[in-house]
Amino acid sequence: MSPTRIYVDADACPVKDEIYKVAARHGLPVSVVAGNFIRVPPDPSIERIAAGPGMDAADDWIAERAGRGDIVVTSDVPLASRCVKAGADVLAPNGKPFSEASIGMTLAVRNLMTDLRSAGEVTGGPRGFSPRDRSAFLSALDTAIRRIQRSNKPA
């Protein structure tokens, strides 16, 4: 089994610096994927991917590679759904895990809200990102890494 890799849907990710620190502590490689150029620290374990200008180019790049034993960080629900189906652990930047049990309802709510907005309904936006969200994310990422590492150990 290949080592755990952390894939970051980077265009609007508020926890990139936290991901780099946690990954370094655990010795894990990180792929930072964006539509275009994005700055990353000069570290050989951090790979910068400019997936291209296509509407879902970054999402497609991540979804084609992420699988069991990997972690994907994204707030994009359709991408989360694809990665959960591929067996990856998926976390939102606020620490909320996307799982097989929750992704169906999460995707349905997202689609409903999209339909309401396209019909002219004012639905409001997501709440602001808080220090509590950052803390919850750090805890969730560390927990996911430890769980994957335990499950990968030979019996």
Residue 154 lies in a domain: no
- Name the pTM for this structure: 0.85
Q: What are the residue ranges of helices labelled H in the chain?
A: 16-26, 57-65, 77-85, 100-118, 131-152
Interatomic CA distance for residues 32 and 50, integer angstroms: 9
* Dist. CA 62–CA 88, nearest whole Å: 11
pLDDT category of residue 118 using cuts at 50, 70 and 90: confident
Range of the domain at 98: 6-149
pLDDT digits (tens, 9 = 90+) for 37-80: 889 999 999 999 999 888 899 999 999 999 999 999 998 989 99
Instruction: Judge whether 155 lies within some domain.
Output: no
Q: Is residue 25 part of a domain?
A: yes
* Residue 78, domain member (yes or no): yes
Q: Residue 90 — pLDDT band, cuts 50, 70, 90?
A: very high
**Average pLDDT of the residues in 107-121:** 68
Provide the domain count of the chain.
1
- Asked if residue 123 belongs to a domain, the reply is yes
Task: Please indicate, yes or no, if residue 42 is contained in any of the structural domains.
Answer: yes
Residue that has been written with the tokens 């994927």 in this structure: 33
Asked if 70 and 5 count as a contact pair (C-beta separation under 8 A), the reply is yes
CATH, residue 67: 3.40.50
What residues have CB less than 8 Å from 142, skipping those under 6 apart? 22
pLDDT > 80? residue 122: no
Position 1 in a domain = no
b/e map of 27-53 (b: 16 or more CB within 10 Å)? Answer: ebbbbbbbbeebebeeeeebeebebee
Bridge-partner residues for 49, per DSSP? 33
